[in-house]
Structure 1
Amino acid sequence: MTAVNIEILINVWQRLLTDPRKSWVLFEHGTCVVLTAPVGELAEQATEIVKKFGPAQAGSSAGDFGVIDLKDTEGWVVTGYHNDVLTYVGPDEPMDESEITVGLFGRSKRHRDGTELHVVHVEDNRGSADPA
């Protein structure tokens, strides 16, 4: 993946994840792990989550997916069986825009991220929340 594509992915996730208190980690193929309880090294924490919940296994809950058609950004977010593991599919990626095609394409990207485990960006927002 090129640096331009990585920058586009980072920009997309920054627009989609608008809660300034959420920390997240982006993997090479567009999978984002939102860390609801970030502790320690965020890339390590996210890698453990995507290693467990990223690989697709047809016929099991690991093969399940949902497709969210984005309103403010072109493309889709494909969900899996972990609520905080999300994969972005750009408008130019799938062969057609049917929900099944987009979902299978996103699931394959999540599978690659869950097996290759290549972190490309960490958004650490642990210190940005206003104190209570």
Structure 2
Amino acid sequence: MDNLEIIKHVTLAINPEYQDWVLFKNGTYIIFDDITTVKDVKDEAIQLMKEFGPVFAGGSAGDFSVIHLNSTEGWLVSGHGYGMYTYVHPSELDNETPNDLEIGLYGRSKRNSDGENPEIEHINNSINL
């Protein structure tokens, strides 16, 4: 899946009420409630990703929930960072009928990769920054 396809799926996955978000290379994104209060969106997103992206066993960073999407294919995996989700497309998994544990573990590994090496792919904002 190319970058434009991921952006399309993530856009469809997000509640249209939220227009301000940052997407990272491995499909993790962060929603900002009020981007006008953020001094530098790139810096803030990278800081949040470094803080809440990496997974540490035995703590809240390892916890996740799986959200089944209706507006597009795939799932969102949420973790312990507020407004942070990881998009998982069905083509990324070997199993054609994966369960929530498989989806969640895969999404969590993607979030961990984004946390360890945060690379921004796209910034979506409702105002011109």
Counting matched residue pairs gives 124
**How many angstroms apart in 2 are the aligned matches of 1:82 and 1:33?**
9
1:125 aligned partner:
126
The TM-score normalised by the length of structure 1 is: 0.87
Report the secondary structure of 2:26's partner residue: coil
Taking the aligned partners of 2:10 and 2:25, their CA distance within structure 1 comes to 13
Are the equivalent residues in 1 in contact too, given 2:77–2:88 (CA < 8 A)? yes
SS of the equivalent of 1:32 reads: strand
Distance in 1 (alpha carbons) for counterparts of 2:21 and 2:109: 20
Percent of aligned pairs sharing the same letter: 35
* Equivalent-residue separation in structure 2 for 1:52 and 1:60 (angstroms): 13
Secondary structure of 1:92's aligned partner: helix
Give the TM-score normalised by structure 2.
Answer: 0.89
Structure 1 runs not aligned, ≥5 long:
128-132
Match of 2:25 in 1: 28
1:2-40 Cα offsets, whole Å, 9 max, x none, are: xx6111111112222243553100000000010123212
Distance 1:69 1:20, change over 3 A: closer
The within-5 A match list for 1:63-74 is 63-74=62-73
Q: Indicate the RMSD between aligned Cα atoms, in angstroms.
A: 1.5
CA change 1:77–1:22 in 2 (3 A) is same
- Inter-partner Cα distance in structure 1 for 2:15 and 2:104: 23
Question: Partners in 2 of 1:55 and 1:94 — Cα distance?
Answer: 21
**Structure 1: distance between partners of 2:82 and 2:99:** 22
Query: Are residues 70 and 20 of structure 1, via their aligned partners in 2, closer, same or farther at CA, if it must alter by over 3 Å?
Result: closer
- Given that residues 35 and 46 in structure 1 are in contact (C-alpha distance below 8 angstroms), is that contact kept between their aligned partners in structure 2? no
CA contact (8 A) 2:46 2:118 kept: yes
Please give the residue correspondences for 1:1-132 in structure 2 after superposition, counting only pairs within 5 Å: 5-19=2-16, 22-38=19-35, 39-96=38-95, 97-126=98-127
